[in-house]
Amino acid sequence: MDFSLSEELVLLRDSVDKYVSENCTVERHRRLQHSELGFDADAWQQFAELGWLSVPFGEALGGFDAGPAGTMVVAQALGRALVREPYLHTVVTCGNLLQCAGTQAQQAAWIPPIIDGSAQWAFAFAERGSDFDLGQVTTRAVAQGDGFAVSGRKIAVLNGHCADQLLVTALYDGAVGLYVIDATATGVSRERFVAVDGSGGAHLVLDNAAAERLGESPDGQAALATALNHVTVAMGAEALGAMQSLLDATVEYTKTRQQFGQPISRFQVLQHRMADMFMKVEETRSLVLNATILLGQGSAAADAACAALKVKFAEASRFVSQQAIQLHGGIGMTDELVIGHHYKRLLLLGKLYGDEQYHLERFAAAG
């Protein structure tokens, strides 16, 4: 396999790296955590102007058409700097669902506003008692005029507090499909919540909310599975960036922290622990690249590769973040340091769309 990036992707990576290194600090992260949106709307528009929001989309829609590799490059850089803007939810998750399931007319109507930064989206899939099974749905859609009406409850809808459009899973005629609902429509109520990493979201109550079915088929599970593979690559890349940041910060800290008259980086037992952290980062990097390439090729092995990636980065990120906190001592979980913030974000990513056990079973089934 060729793991090298194209010239265009190298330029994209350098663009994101330059921006986040100059603008995205832990102080910014802490400030935005307590804001109404939870992110910087002006920065989101800058992302649009720089072309980052167009990365996964086809050229016919005004996109960069960079596929999984482009998403990987952007997500890794954003994860390294702990960027709070909802790239994962609006661009990667909902954007790929629109591409995988939507008709040409729907894509032409909804994707350009994502690319130009004027629309926020959220994916509403979780329900009480559904665990990680996205097919376990009680929310229902019924035909109403030329469209549908959706009723039910969704919990923990990330970015749902500020989304303009909601992508909702619902049952119709025994099949689980995807439905687009205007977040300001009659019959939609939102209760804001804050996730473990400080990002915003909402619990939804839908009461005969007017909806349009995404695509022509009432069964959207095949498109959902494909789109979530793209999401897994993005989450894995974001986790990889965060873990690399944690490793770099830990190595640097142990070089400056003195104990018994010398830097603690000289103690062999701590060197071994940092070596273990390094191995977890590199194992994750290999699986990110493998899943990215197979998904980009449309390989039948992509499902298993993405499941393996989720298992590995969930396990590795927990290990790396816990080691980073311990090696930083008491200051590891203080709000002033980025370490604890990375830990919370990685905790969320490790559970989102299925934990290690869920994806281990998925990997076994794919084999």
- Domains in the chain with CATH codes: 7-115 (1.10.540.10), 121-213 (2.40.110.10), 221-366 (1.20.140.10)
Q: Which of the four pLDDT bands, split at 50, 70 and 90, describes residue 258? A: confident
Look at strands 165-172 and 121-124 and give their pairing.
parallel
The continuous run of DSSP H or E covering 73 comes out as: helix 67-81
Percent of the chain with pLDDT over 90: 93
Check pLDDT > 90 for residue 367. Answer: no
Q: Is residue 290 helix, strand or coil? A: helix
> What pLDDT digit, counting tens, does each position of 18-27 carry?
999 999 999 9
- Per DSSP, 112 falls in state H
Q: Which residue shows structure tokens 């749902």?
A: 160
| Among the listed residues 265, 253, 259, 311, the one whose alpha carbon sits nearest the alpha carbon of residue 287 | 311
Give the integer Cα–Cα distance in Å for 229 and 231: 5
Q: Which of the four pLDDT bands, split at 50, 70 and 90, describes residue 2? A: low
Give the integer Cα–Cα distance in Å for 340 and 101: 37
- Write down the mean pLDDT value for the chain: 96
Mean pLDDT (whole number) for 213-224: 95
> What pLDDT digit, counting tens, does each position of 294-306 carry?
999 999 999 999 9
Give the integer Cα–Cα distance in Å for 74 and 238: 8
> What pLDDT digit, counting tens, does each position of 165-204 carry?
999 999 999 999 999 999 999 999 999 999 999 999 999 9
The pLDDT score that the predictor gives to residue 202 is: 98
Question: Distances from the Cα of 339 to the Cαs of 250, 320, 334, in angstroms?
Answer: 9, 10, 8
Q: Which residue shows structure tokens 């190298």?
A: 10
Both tokens assigned to 354? 């299925």
Check pLDDT > 60 for residue 1. Answer: no
